[in-house]
Every structure is written in structure tokens, then in C-alpha cells.
């Protein structure tokens, strides 16, 4: 084994000092020692590492090998040299693979332990509560809350549920979008009744009336209009929680749940007193 081959085996530059050689040997030996790494190739490379360090740290041996090296015939590499080079390359590949696995394990552990994992579990639980609330609202009775219609817009827009919608202004609830049916409130009394869902008090319809007829005008651009999509979205955090795997899908859904779905859940809870409605099971 020549000096250059020894340096390649240790993955060191030719001008490495004795201290760097010893340090690199200890580092590689910890990975390739037979008590740690059962791979037969690792055991063979471990033996070669010891021989390489002995050659590099023994000045007399260096000179002997150097003299032999200068007298050797130049030309194409022999089978033994080619085999040695392949073994060194494979060893480097295995080292990189081990390092990558170690980095992946460290990253996976950072996601599924400590404060970050505790926050994720809270996000998952809140999302499940919202999914359950949105699902059961299909079967629960509605709330009917009085309000006053104080204005409406003449401009038309495309909605999620209805094709033509317009904005209105309510005294208590503020601005909302409803199906364009100006006749339903143009000659009606300004006092209206807002039909809302049980848990989140999401407005679903506005009830207006004149002296003869009662009209029910659907709201648009609200949580109820995308309720089914929100239910599916809030069930997503459950999958990474139940299937903790070192896969790309786990990492993607984890970050989607942590940053995206968590933000949506907080927005829903912290607006329009929805947290209070949930804590009181919809009675307030």
C-alpha cells in the first residue's frame, strides 16, 4: 500500500499532519469497528485503516514504500490497485450513506419530540375538534339571532355557492355576502333574523319579511360554504400523528399541518368569538 493510497483510504489530503491522521483514524474506526459494524467489508477496511496509519506514522516505512514506488513501472493500474480503489470508493459511499441516515434520524427526532411535537399534538387535537364540530352541525338545529340590515351594495360578484352575490351591511355582524335577491329586502323591514349553525354560529341564511311574505336569502363566502373541504383539511394532521414514518409524505403533511392547517385553525377560533361558542358547546 502506497502513501497516496493510504491518504485516500483515510480521506485526507497528502499534506495532512500526524495529528490529523490520528484524529481521522479514530473517527473512522468508531464506525467500522467489528463490534459496531457487522458488515464484512467494513471489517476488512478497518484492518486496512490500521495498516495505513502504521505506514503514514512510521518514517522508515514511508521511505521504504516511497523508494519502491519510484522504481515501479508506470502504466495502467493493476487488478489489485483497481480492486483497492473500488473498495475505498465503496467505503466512502457507505460512510456518506451512514452520515445521511444519521442526519435523517436527527431531523426526524427533532420533528417528533420536545416542544415542537407537543405543539403539533395541540394542533392535531384542535383540528379534530373543529372537524367534529363542522360535521355534527349538519344534523343539529340552527340558532336564530336578530339583527338589522342597514345597507346593501349594487355590485355583483361570483360566489362559492351561488352565481350572483352581493354584499350587505348588518348592524351587529358587519359586512357579509349573500345571494343577490334585492327584492327580498328592498321593501322588507330592516329587522332581520340570521340563521346560524349550532357550534360555530356561522351565518347560513338571512330571513327578511314584509307585510305578506318571508324570504330566506343564503349567505356566501363563509365557513359554511366550504364546510366539507374544511372537514377534510382538519383531518389531515391525524395522519402524521398516527403514522410516524421517515418518509417524504410524512414530512410534507407534518409541515402542512404545523404551519398551514394550524394557522387556519387559529384564525377560525380567534375570530367572531368562535372559541367562546365552542367552549360553551354552542349555547353562547
The three-class DSSP label of residue 69 is: helix
- For residue range 28-68, what is the model confidence (pLDDT) as tens digits? 777 776 667 676 666 677 778 788 878 888 766 544 444 44
> Which residues span the domain enclosing 104?
3-110
Which set of grid coordinates corresponds to residue 110? 427533532
Residue 75's CATH number: 1.10.287.110
The reply to whether 233 and 147 lie within a common domain is no
pLDDT reported for residue 199: 94
Same domain, 99 and 128: no
Same domain, 119 and 180: no
Q: Decide if 258 is inside a domain.
A: yes
On whether both 79 and 10 belong to a single domain, the answer is yes
- 161 in the same domain as 24: no
One domain, residues 219 and 84:
no
Instruction: Name the grid cell of 115.
Output: 416542544
Query: In the prediction, which pLDDT does 76 show?
Result: 54
The per-residue pLDDT for 54 is 80
Nearest to 46 by CA among 62, 27, 64: 27
**Is the distance from CB of 185 to CB of 192 less than 8 angstroms?**
yes
In a domain, 33, yes or no: yes
Residues 126 and 219 both lie in one domain: no
Structural domain count, the chain: 3
Domain presence at residue 284? no
Amino acid at each position: 500500500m502506497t502513501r497516496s493510497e493510504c491518504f485516500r483510504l483515510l480521506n485526507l489530503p497528502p499534506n495532512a499532519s500526524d495529528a490529523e491522521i490520528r484524529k481521522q483514524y479514530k473517527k473512522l474506526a468508531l464506525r467500522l469497528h467489528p463490534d459496531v459494524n457487522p458488515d464484512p467489508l467494513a471489517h476488512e477496511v478497518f484492518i486496512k485503516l490500521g495498516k495505513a496509519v502504521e505506514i503514514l506514522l512510521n518514517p522508515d516505512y514511508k521511505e521504504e514504500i516511497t523508494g519502491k514506488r519510484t522504481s515501479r513501472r508506470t502504466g495502467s493500474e493493476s487488478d489489485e490497485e483497481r480492486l483497492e480503489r473500488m473498495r475505498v470508493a465503496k467505503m466512502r459511499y457507505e460512510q456518506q450513506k451512514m452520515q445521511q441516515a444519521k442526519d435523517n434520524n436527527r431531523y426526524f427526532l427533532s420533528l417528533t419530540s420536545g416542544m415542537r411535537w407537543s405543539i403539533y399534538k395541540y394542533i392535531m387535537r384542535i383540528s379534530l375538534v373543529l372537524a367534529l364540530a363542522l360535521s355534527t352541525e349538519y344534523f343539529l338545529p340552527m340558532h336564530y339571532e336578530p339583527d338589522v340590515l342597514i345597507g346593501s351594495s349594487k355590485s355583483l360578484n361570483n360566489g362559492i355557492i351561488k352565481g350572483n352575490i352581493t354584499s350587505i351591511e348588518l348592524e351587529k355582524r358587519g359586512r357579509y355576502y349573500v345571494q343577490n335577491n334585492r327584492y327580498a329586502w328592498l321593501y322588507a323591514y330592516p329587522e332581520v333574523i340570521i340563521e346560524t349553525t349550532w357550534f360555530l354560529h356561522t351565518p347560513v341564511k338571512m330571513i327578511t319579511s314584509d307585510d305578506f311574505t318571508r324570504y330566506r336569502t343564503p349567505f356566501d363566502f363563509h365557513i359554511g360554504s366550504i364546510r366539507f373541504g374544511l372537514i377534510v383539511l382538519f383531518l389531515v394532521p391525524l395522519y402524521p400523528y398516527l403514522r410516524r414514518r421517515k418518509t417524504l409524505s410524512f414530512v410534507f403533511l407534518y409541515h402542512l399541518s404545523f404551519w398551514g392547517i394550524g394557522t387556519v385553525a387559529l384564525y377560525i377560533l380567534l375570530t367572531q368569538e368562535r372559541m367562546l361558542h365552542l367552549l360553551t358547546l354552542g349555547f353562547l
